[in-house]
Amino acid sequence: MKDFFYAIQDLFVDFLFAPFDALRALELENWWSANLISWIFIIIGIVAMVYWMLQLKKFNNNNEEDKSVTSHSYL
């Protein structure tokens, strides 16, 4: 059982958290590069959120959803 938990530790420490360790090491070398990478990820997140909101607005404008209060029996 102990080996199972060590395997989980190795998975996260050696593989899944490696990009975060690299970003942490980059910050110590060059602060501007680390912040540039962070801002790129923030911009990607903002673009994805705007796309999602536009898709939700498009589906909301189709008026296909039943929004009446009695649409579900448990209401």
Confidence of residue 70 (pLDDT cuts 50, 70, 90): low
Q: What pLDDT score does 17 carry?
A: 92
Can you give the pTM of this predicted structure? 0.64
3-state secondary structure the chain: CHHHHHHHHHHHHHHHCHHHHHHHHHHHHCHHHHHHHHHHHHHHHHHHHHHHHHHHHHHHHCCCCCCCHHHCCCC
What does the pLDDT read at residue 28? 92
Q: Looking at residue 36, what is its pLDDT?
A: 94
pLDDT digits (tens, 9 = 90+) for 8-46: 999 999 999 998 899 889 989 999 998 999 999 999 999
* Domain ranges (residues) in the chain: 2-61
The confidence score (pLDDT) of residue 74 equals: 65
